Amino acid sequence: MTINIRQLEIRAGCEEGARILFEKLIAHLMKIQYKDAKRIQSARGDWGIDVIRGELSSGTCMIWQAKYFINGIGDSQKKQIRDSFKQVVKKSQEHEFKMDVWTLCVPCSLSPEETKWWESWSKKKSKEANIKIELMDEIEIEAVLMTSDAEDIRLGFFGDVPFILNCYLQSIKGMRERDIQQLPDKKLYEKSMFIKKLIVAGIQETIGAKTQFFNAELLKSEIHDKGDDDESNELVSLYEKIRSMWESRFNEALNSENPEREVPKVYSKMLQAIESTDKEILISSKIMASFVHKQGFMQQLADLCEIGWTPDFRTLDEGND
């Protein structure tokens, strides 16, 4: 049978889903080769480890890092590789565990230029950290998948009835959007700029705005901590789309016969526009964000005085307390 790892993205419907499936696939394959291998749940603070053999509490271990770089290794991907290795080395020193081998798993084959970079970088870091560094590319992954021991995994992910893949897809569908976290304190952000802008515009109910801002801050912090350039670039793209949506509505209201009355209405129009275009204009294949998070991005832009709800919003300062 033909194996096409890109099928993971096609079936998941987004790159984030394919990334999760790829990590699970690697964990299954390593479990075949090493019965004591186990997957580490991906989350903030996961130490840059996807699959491990051995123990973090004592002795030595082998570590696999799965990166869904389906289109090769460019500058952004190189940075992620460097950062992941740096992270796991740092954690090994902080928590006193030793790595024998660190393996990067990617669903692509490297070009001559990428191969040259990998050979140079891996040899240098292997010598510096005294750790064996290996690469498991698409050919090696496919070779393991085609073994008799991996038949169930092969059929489960890539067969006519991919039962393992379908099982994971059900869970991923429920992961497309992050949960909305409750505001820990209703008095939070009382003196923040985005709240001042709302009050000046005559908008008195602000709990929803605070919740939006709070969840956007959590998401922004998570993306920053992961150091994923693709997600960071996607976040910037969402900010710019929201800014553009605001600008057209703001300019129209500002040029109306009564801008003092019409400009504050832009706020509710933006909330409605973000909710209605969440799955269209503002859809993201890399960031699992709900329309509440995206409304929070709008609040963040207001907090930076880059958008606002009154004609003179840029002059708003601490004097408006």
One digit per residue, the tens of pLDDT, for the chain of length 321 reads: 678 898 898 888 777 788 889 999 999 999 999 999 998 875 544 577 889 998 887 778 999 999 999 999 999 899 989 999 998 999 888 888 899 999 999 999 999 999 999 999 999 999 999 999 999 999 999 999 999 999 999 999 999 888 888 888 776 665 556 778 999 899 999 999 999 999 999 999 999 999 999 999 999 988 887 777 778 888 999 999 999 999 999 999 999 999 999 999 999 999 999 999 987 888 876 787 899 999 999 999 999 999 999 999 988 754 444
CA distance linking residue 109 with residue 70, whole number of Å? 9
The β-bridge partners of 133 are 102
Q: Look at residue 187 and give its three-state secondary structure.
A: coil
Strand ranges in 8-68 using DSSP code E only, listed in sequence order: 37-39, 51-54, 60-66
| CATH number attached to the domain at 7-173 | 3.40.91
Q: Where in the chain is the domain with CATH 3.40.91?
A: 7-173
pLDDT computed for residue 318 by the predictor: 46
Residue 222 CA: distances (Å) to CA of 63, 78, 91, 289:
23, 20, 18, 12
Q: Kindly state the tokens that stand for 106.
A: 């990617």
CA distance 310 to 206: 16
Residue 134 structure tokens: 């290996």
Give the Cα separation of 41 and 21 in Å (integer).
12
Q: Check: pTM over 0.75? Answer yes or no.
A: no
DSSP for residue 39: E
